[in-house]
């Protein structure tokens, strides 16, 4: 039997609010013990022990990234590896990939294919409707049995009100959440039905006027959120708004929570760290969906994170090739990479004293687990050893050239913090040289 000991590490457990410096002993895929002195728990004599001196380092449950797009040219296994290197031990992928994840057999296939002991675990949102027209409910019960943990149309809004009502009602019956990309496609110009193809390209306002780009009004988001909340009330469904980006939608969700509806939402780092002024040079790394909004919306996202209206932070990873981004803004693809910066950008909120570290970790671990009704990540005796080790204060700079996915909207941003190790099922999924050097012989 091999033991791994993390000596004098700060343990953060958002489930129990435990936050103390301890020795942590890992055995097989479980946490064997969290104690003041590991020597009282294990002895050197008959067992092999790897001891890491973790003085000054912090440990928390592994991150759950509840929104990852796997692009056409991306390989799931490669993304799992990159996610693990960046502290994500569990991620949820969207159904709008090719082929579409809209039937039980493909859910089952991907679940099996992705199960590798020391790689990031893959969870799946099934497609809520059979195709892009969004008019027929897919087999969400059967997909749920195969392990789909929620239903969504990915980067398209579930548009038809009746379809949404039925979906919510049915999903409530099988106890799964509906995840919505809230955007009125007619208002944002994404509805292909119009005779001329006029696509919304960025947030509507002074900047879009100056740049001569087609604006998407910010109310395109709240219009859908408000409708859906009424349907959630009607059906009793668990309804989750993905990558929320405007003050109005956050206000509406705050009110819905007050009256006890099962409504939750997440946001992504671009929406609390950037605003539409980033687009002034037509830099396509900032072409996102939803678009970067006004400064006031960014501040509202921060307020929402602080007061708990926003439950979780997801990477909203949607990496794009350089070829599709080195284009005029209107022709460039939508999306940016996220899994490599999720943790660092969330930590930035801690360093800016917007939230404390416990809260940051909750937003990335236990809160997404609650929303998706997954097993609650926890660091406690006999708990599953899915965790990360990080240095919260080490200075660094995000550099596109050092990243494996592109484009990052945070190129050249100064940050603090580094993931040093990721353990999945008690096995090393990623270990940084700095941590390797801390092994006590």
Partner 1 sequence: MNELKKNKNKGFFSSPIKLSSNHLLAIEGMEKSEIQKLIERADYFANLDRHTNTKVLQGYVVLNVFFENSTRTRVSFELAARRLGAEVINISLINSSIKKGESLLDTASTLNAMRPDLLIVRHPHSGAPLLFADYLNCSIINAGDGRHEHPTQALLDALTIKRRVGYLEGLKISICGDIANSRVARSNIHLLTTMGAEVRCVAPSTLMPSNLENLGVKCFSNMKMGIKDADVVMLLRLQNERMTGTENPSEREYFKFFGLDEAKLALANPNAVIMHPGPMNRGVEIASALADDTNRSLIKTQVEMGVAVRMSIIEALNHTKNNMMKN
The rounded distance, in Å, linking the Cα atoms of 408 and 401 is: 10
CB closer to partner 1 out of 73 and 209: 209
**Single residue of 194, 306, 393, 402 touching partner 1 by CB under 8 A:** 194
- Cα 150 from chain centre: 14
CB atoms within 10 A of CB 197: 8
437 binding partner 1? (CB under 8 A): no
Number of residues that bind partner 1 (CB under 8 A): 26
Residue 323 CB, nearest approach to partner 1 (Å): 6
CB closer to partner 1 out of 208 and 264: 208
The rounded distance, in Å, linking the Cα atoms of 192 and 215 is: 16
Task: Give the active site residue among 23, 316, 386, 391.
Answer: 316
- Angle formed at CA 45 by CA 42 and CA 48, multiple of 5 degrees: 70
CB closer to partner 1 out of 327 and 402: 327
CB closer to partner 1 out of 269 and 291: 291
80 binding partner 1? (CB under 8 A): no
The rounded distance, in Å, linking the Cα atoms of 347 and 334 is: 25
**Single residue of 327, 393, 399, 402 touching partner 1 by CB under 8 A:** 327
Determine contact, residues 319/405, Cβ cutoff 8 Å. yes
- Angle formed at CA 78 by CA 76 and CA 79, multiple of 5 degrees: 65
DSSP E strand stretches across 69-208: 88-93, 121-127, 148-152, 178-180, 202-203
Instruction: Assess whether 65 carries a catalytic annotation.
Output: no
Residue 202 CB, nearest approach to partner 1 (Å): 10
The rounded distance, in Å, linking the Cα atoms of 376 and 8 is: 25
CB closer to partner 1 out of 281 and 306: 281
- Kindly indicate which of the ranges 38-46, 224-232, 235-243, 319-327 contains the residues binding partner 1, using the contact rule CB under 8 A: 319-327
Residue 328 CB, nearest approach to partner 1 (Å): 4
Residue 327 CB, nearest approach to partner 1 (Å): 6
The rounded distance, in Å, linking the Cα atoms of 90 and 369 is: 10
**Single residue of 323, 356, 375, 382 touching partner 1 by CB under 8 A:** 323
User: By C-alpha distance, which of 388, 305, 385 is closest to 343?
Assistant: 388
The rounded distance, in Å, linking the Cα atoms of 229 and 235 is: 10
198 binding partner 1? (CB under 8 A): yes
295 binding partner 1? (CB under 8 A): no
281 binding partner 1? (CB under 8 A): yes
Which of positions 202-231 make contact with partner 1 (CB under 8 A)?
Answer: 204-206, 208-215, 217
CB closer to partner 1 out of 122 and 213: 213
Residue 220 CB, nearest approach to partner 1 (Å): 13
Residue 114 CB, nearest approach to partner 1 (Å): 33
Long-range contacts of 284-287 (CB under 8 A, 24+ apart): 284/325, 284/326, 284/327, 284/329, 284/332, 284/333, 284/407, 285/325, 285/336, 285/407, 285/408, 285/409, 285/411, 286/336, 286/409, 287/201, 287/202, 287/325, 287/329, 287/332, 287/333, 287/334, 287/335, 287/336
Which residues are designated catalytic? 316
Sites of contact with partner 1 (CB under 8 A): 189, 194-196, 198, 204-206, 208-215, 217, 281-282, 323, 326-331
């Amino acid at each position: 039997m091999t033991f791994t000991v993390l000596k004098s590490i700060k343990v953060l457990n958002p489930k129990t609010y435990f936050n103390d410096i301890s020795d942590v002993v890992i055995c097989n895929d479980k946490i064997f013990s969290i104690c003041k002195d590991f020597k009282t728990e294990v002895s050197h004599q008959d067992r092999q022990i790897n001891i890491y001196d973790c003085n000054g380092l912090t440990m928390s449950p592994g991150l759950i990234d509840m929104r990852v797009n796997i692009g056409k040219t991306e390989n799931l296994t490669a993304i799992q590896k990159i996610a693990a290197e960046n502290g994500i031990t569990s991620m949820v992928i969207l159904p709008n990939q090719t082929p579409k994840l809209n039937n039980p057999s493909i859910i089952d296939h991907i679940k099996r294919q992705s199960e590798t002991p020391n790689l990031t675990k893959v969870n799946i949102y099934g497609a809520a409707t059979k195709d892009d027209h969004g008019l027929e409910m897919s087999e969400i019960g059967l997909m749920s049995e195969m392990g789909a943990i929620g239903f969504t149309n990915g980067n398209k809004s579930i548009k038809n009100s009746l379809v949404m009502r039925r979906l919510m009602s049915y999903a409530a019956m099988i106890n799964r959440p509906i995840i919505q990309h809230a955007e009125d496609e007619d208002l944002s110009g994404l509805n292909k039905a119009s005779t001329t193809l006029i696509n919304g390209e960025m947030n509507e306002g002074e900047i879009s006027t100056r740049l001569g780009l087609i604006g998407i009004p910010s109310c395109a988001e709240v219009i859908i959120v408000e409708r859906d909340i009424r349907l959630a009330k009607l059906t009793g469904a668990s309804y989750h708004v993905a990558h929320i980006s405007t003050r109005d939608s956050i206000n509406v969700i705050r009110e819905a929570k007050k009256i006890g509806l099962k409504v939750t939402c997440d946001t992504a780092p671009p929406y609390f760290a950037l605003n539409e002024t980033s687009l002034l040079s037509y830099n396509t790394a900032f072409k996102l969906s939803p678009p970067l909004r006004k400064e006031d919306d960014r501040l509202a996202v921060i307020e929402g994170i602080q007061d708990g209206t926003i439950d979780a932070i997801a990477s909203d990873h949607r990496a794009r090739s350089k070829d599709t981004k080195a284009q005029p803004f209107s022709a460039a693809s939508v999306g940016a990479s996220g899994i490599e910066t999720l943790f660092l950008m969330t930590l930035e909120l801690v360093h800016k004293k917007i939230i404390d570290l416990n809260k940051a970790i909750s937003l990335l671990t236990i809160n997404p687990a609650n929303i998706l009704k997954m097993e609650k990540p926890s660091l406690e005796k006999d708990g599953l050893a899915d965790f990360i080790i990080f240095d919260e204060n080490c200075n660094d700079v995000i550099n596109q050239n050092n990243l494996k996915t592109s484009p990052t909207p945070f190129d050249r941003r100064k940050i603090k913090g580094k993931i040093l190790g990721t353990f999945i099922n008690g096995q090393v999924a990623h270990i940084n040289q700095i941590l390797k050097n801390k092994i006590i012989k």
